[in-house]
Amino acid sequence: MVRLYALTHEHENERFWTYLEAIEIVGTRLHQSLRTQVGKSGERLATLEFLDLDRAALRTYQFAPQDDPCCPTRVIDTLFAWRGITLEEMR
């Protein structure tokens, strides 16, 4: 069994979304595919910081109203766990 994680992005006009996607491969076949939104629309950019079989750690960058487009001031670390048929944010 192999699990792969990736960040994907969608953009439409002024809106921007980031998603954490995960797939599980058993043998040579796709067994499961999961997807969850990271943050609110247009609010965050993210990087994958750590991965293991059941967890993905993300570092998200949140823009405050006074921030320049290059330089978000809020950095948030979040852990997501693979829980059966969902990716859940750990709190």
> pLDDT for 11-23, tens place per residue?
877 777 889 999 9
Specify the higher pLDDT residue, 52 or 41.
52
Specify the higher pLDDT residue, 74 or 39.
74
What is residue 29's predicted lDDT score, i.e. its pLDDT? 92
What is residue 10's predicted lDDT score, i.e. its pLDDT? 83
Question: Which residues form the domain of 56?
Answer: 2-90
Burial of 21 per CB tally in 10 Å (0-12, 13-18, 19+): middle
**Domain total in the chain:** 1
What is residue 41's predicted lDDT score, i.e. its pLDDT? 60
Q: What is the mean pLDDT of the chain?
A: 85
Specify the higher pLDDT residue, 61 or 79.
79
> What are the distances in angstroms from CA 53 to CA 61, 71, 86, 88?
24, 32, 14, 14
pLDDT, average across residues 54-68: 86
